[in-house]
Structure 1
Amino acid sequence: MRQPTSDKENFRNTDGRIARGEATRQRVLDAAERCFASDGFEAVTIRQIARTAEVTLGVVSFHGGSKEDLFKTVLARRVATLDDLRKAALAEVRARGEMTIRDVVDAYLTPYLDIASRGDPQWRAYAQFIARVASNDDYFPEVRELYDPTARIFIAEFQRLRPGASAEALATVLTLTVASMLSIVASRARIAGLSGSDAIDQPMGYRAMLIDFCTGGIEMVLPSD
């Protein structure tokens, strides 16, 4: 005769199902991220994502929703990590004393360069995906709520250091800084092709040059008085 299942066994079984469900969800999101990165949002289909994740169409819909839902979720799951690292870097600079433009640029760029240099293929896919998104204004209404809050924190720091700068100039210098960062992380083939030598293997290898480049541009553009 079958013995009644104990509360402990029920908990273990439920906990196991939750863990497997979360693992499947992450597999679906990872697959969507890779597909969006390689082919762009418009060209990707739910069937393609299911095939890449090695699950059924129903599983993709259950864990990810529509293609539009997947788009938002794939972006959002990286934002919290980056936001926390950038805010922590900015807080560390504040704790040391007076900030400079270079300090603010460093706090914004370095967390992303560091993560992108760790060899995680999914972060590599995200880098390619977000580079696509950032270059297309059609996506802006979908991503502004994700990225603008932290962007405005850094714009406020630039404004504090350069109070005479216009809102347009402040937004422009941050946008150009982000574009430079995304370009270095997403692909360095152009550098290798133009230089005739191998590009630096990891984005962090360009950290000092990228920070100098962005800092110099910002200091030239934003008035110091």
Structure 2
Amino acid sequence: MIENALPVQTDGRLLRGEATRERVLDAAERLFAAEGFDAVSIRRIAAEAGVTLGVVGFHGGPKQNLMRTVLERRVEALSTRRLAALEALRAANSPPALRDLVDAYLTPYLEYASQGDPQWRAYARLIARIANDDRWYPSVGGLYDPVAREYLQAMQQARPDAPQQELATALTLTVASMLSLVASRARIAGLSNRAPGSPMEYRDTLITFCMGGIDAVSST
């Protein structure tokens, strides 16, 4: 019995530590999303998470590193789904159709954003904030670019005559449209006199819109 006690205690400590880490990251995500990175202090994050300053430092490090960690856990989930979708497309059809590639890249984010999880809503607001701020690219671009490059390569195979710069620009603008749609659908609702729908309800319209731009630049 004594031999079994230590692993149980160790597992308990690990579980509590992981729960605390998630609480810190959740708090940072909410505050960064609501107020912006510059306006939020580590002390505010600690108070929001109900932990000490040292606990925030232990789980997140300096504020810049904490931001990257907040983003990293979401990117990991998105990248897993996007790569699985890309592999499925490659297995079914080589090269995959361009519209299918756009769908496979956009849909995982739309699905997560449509689940009603308040933390994913916070992430949506946060990534919309930093996507338009070039200072973040050197520190967080490496989180997003590897999968984007995989898709860009597949797009190039689907449209071999299209200049790579044009396709890269089109993919970047496609992502910007996706982020804008998820972060705020209030104006769409206002102009159409309807209640805002979930991001997934706009999926077909978003893909068609983005494909129009991609088709235009890749056929020149």
Distance 1:220 1:83 in 2: 27
Aligned to 1:9: 5
Q: Does the 8 A contact of 2:167 with 2:217 survive in 1?
A: no
Opposite residue 183 of structure 1, the aligned amino acid is S
Residue correspondence of structure 1 range 10-159 to structure 2 within 5 A = 10-98=6-94, 99-159=96-156
Deviation at 1:121, TM superposition (A): 0.9
Deviation at 1:210, TM superposition (A): 0.6
Distance 1:66 1:144 in 2: 19
Aligned to 2:186: 189
Deviation at 1:215, TM superposition (A): 1.1
Deviation at 1:197, TM superposition (A): 2.7
Give the TM-score normalised by the residue count of structure 2: 0.95
Deviation at 1:29, TM superposition (A): 0.5
Q: Secondary structure at the match of 1:93?
A: helix
Deviation at 1:182, TM superposition (A): 0.5
**CA displacement 1:91-124 (0-9 Å, x = unmatched):** 2222222421111100100111011111111111
Number of equivalences:
219
**Counterpart selection for 1:210 from 206, 211, 217:** 206
Opposite residue 124 of structure 1, the aligned amino acid is R
Opposite residue 84 of structure 2, the aligned amino acid is A
Opposite residue 58 of structure 2, the aligned amino acid is F
Q: Which moved more, 1:142-151 or 1:58-67?
A: 58-67
Opposite residue 72 of structure 2, the aligned amino acid is A
**CA displacement 1:55-100 (0-9 Å, x = unmatched):** 1112111221111111110111111111110111112222222421
Distance 1:86 1:155 in 2: 13
> Which structure would you say has the larger Rg?
1
Runs of 4+ that moved beyond 4 A: none
Distance 1:113 1:197 in 2: 20
Distance 2:179 2:47 in 1: 28
Deviation at 1:199, TM superposition (A): 1.9
Give the TM-score normalised by the residue count of structure 1: 0.93
Distance 2:32 2:124 in 1: 11
Distance 1:133 1:71 in 2: 11
Q: Does the 8 A contact of 2:33 with 2:123 survive in 1?
A: yes
